[in-house]
Amino acid sequence: MADYTVGAIYEYTNNMAILTTGAGLTDPFNLVYMDADTTFVDGEDLTGSGNNYAGFVTLDVHTFGGVVQMDFPMVTGTGGDLGDINIVIPFGLAASVVVFPNTLDGTIIGEGGRVFFSGPNGLNSFTHCFAAGTKIRTTEGEIAVEALTNAHRVITAQGNDEPVKWVGRQTIRRQFQGEAAQNMVRITAGALGDGLPTADLTVTGDHGMVLDGMVVNASALVNGTTITRIPASDLPSRFTVYHVETEAHDVILAEGAPSETFIDTTGRRNYDNYAEYLETFGAERMIKEMPLLRISTPRLLPRALRERLGIATYNDAAHRMAG
């Protein structure tokens, strides 16, 4: 369990369209989230206020050293009123130095009793990306993913070279993006067999690795030893992940291991450099997914692959008990 000490709130009403109040609180209070970790998760009940976490917003803050940017959590109005949302200012920071927007660009949506903030700052999206430092094979050798530009050509698993169209960049805030921060997977060198990857490879859990003719989400490969989820506490408070877009959905080599390129199932709006994409290409484009089976859960993996990688499932346990 952890908490976030609140010093003031700013409330938006009418579906976040109008700033109506800027009430400083006489005494600070705590937003308490009951998980064992220290991160907020979409729709999580904040028991200290009876509201739900609804995302975060990044705002300018005036300091003696100039203007800096800070992330602030947002919660739904009292009693889960979908007409209200509050930006929460931490205790010790004067609300007067924070530049609040006149409107919030997003929509509150409900799903199964949970509440999300959907928009540029919303957290109900998933990332399919590489961690910074991941080496991608190119015609010029191995290049860190964050250093790739559209001047580079990547080598595909088929041995072709394809131009990089765009490298998407997304910043993850550990405290305010609990689900994303808890979804990073480390694949240690050699864990996939045949010496692959050639070095430790870190990707998001929804990123597809290509194995035995299938696109397998990294989270489905976790075996608890050589392929593991990285504890959120081991990650920086902010970190950036990257994705590589080519003309078609393709297979490139990340630390030597076959890995998918960008596919627009989640769109590009959640990337920090989305405006750059629009400036370069004018509009989004659809990319047809490769005709390969996609696996998102361990129980759907062929038994031979599970055994090879040491992945246990509930089905395996039941089979052993029955035998």
Question: If you average pLDDT over each of 36-50, 109-123, 178-192, 280-294, which comes out highest?
Answer: 280-294
**End-of-domain residue from the set 68, 86, 118:** 118
Q: Strand (E) positions, 121-250? A: 130-131, 135-138, 141-144, 153-155, 161-163, 166-173, 184-187, 201-204, 208-211, 214-217, 227-229, 238-245
If we measure between CA atoms, which residue out of 282, 125, 146 comes closest to residue 206? 125
pLDDT at residue 170 greater than cutoff 60: yes
The band of 294, judged by pLDDT with boundaries at 50, 70 and 90, is very high
Counted domains in the chain: 2
Compute the 3-state secondary structure of the chain and give helix, strand, coil in percent, each to the nearest 5: 15, 45, 40
- Tell me which DSSP letter residue 296 carries: -
Q: What are the tens digits of pLDDT across the range 70-98?
A: 777 777 655 444 446 777 777 777 777 88
pLDDT at 128: 74
- As a whole number of angstroms, the distance between CA 271 and CA 188 comes to 27
pLDDT at 124: 39
- What's the Cα-to-Cα distance from 5 to each of 8, 71, 73, 144, rounded to whole Å? 10, 14, 11, 39
Q: Are residues 171 and 55 in the same domain?
A: no
- As a whole number of angstroms, the distance between CA 120 and CA 105 comes to 7
CATH of the domain at 277: 2.170.16.10
pLDDT at residue 265 greater than cutoff 50: yes
Contacts of 32 (CB under 8 A, 6+ apart): 1, 2, 3, 46, 47, 48
- As a whole number of angstroms, the distance between CA 52 and CA 50 comes to 7
Neighbour tally for 199: CB within 10 Å? 17
**End-of-domain residue from the set 74, 91, 118:** 118
Among the listed ranges 39-48, 141-150, 212-221, 235-244, which one has the minimum average pLDDT value? 39-48
pLDDT at 266: 64
**End-of-domain residue from the set 76, 97, 118:** 118
pLDDT at residue 117 greater than cutoff 50: no
Instruction: Report whether 240 contacts 169 (CB < 8 A).
Output: yes
Q: Are residues 172 and 270 in the same domain?
A: yes
Q: Residue 256 domain-assigned?
A: yes
Q: Residue 319 domain-assigned?
A: no
Instruction: Report whether 260 contacts 243 (CB < 8 A).
Output: no
pLDDT at 2: 47
Contacts of 322 (CB under 8 A, 6+ apart): none
- As a whole number of angstroms, the distance between CA 100 and CA 104 comes to 9
* Domain extent for 277: 130-314
Q: Residue 103 domain-assigned?
A: yes
Torsion on CA atoms 100, 114, 123, 106, rounded to nearest 10: -50
Question: If you average pLDDT over each of 25-34, 114-123, 167-176, 198-207, which comes out highest?
Answer: 198-207
- What's the Cα-to-Cα distance from 271 to each of 72, 125, 218, 317, rounded to whole Å? 19, 11, 20, 40
Q: Are residues 59 and 157 in the same domain?
A: no
Classify burial at 205, counting beta carbons within 10 Å of its beta carbon; exposed 0-12, middle 13-18, buried 19 or more.
buried
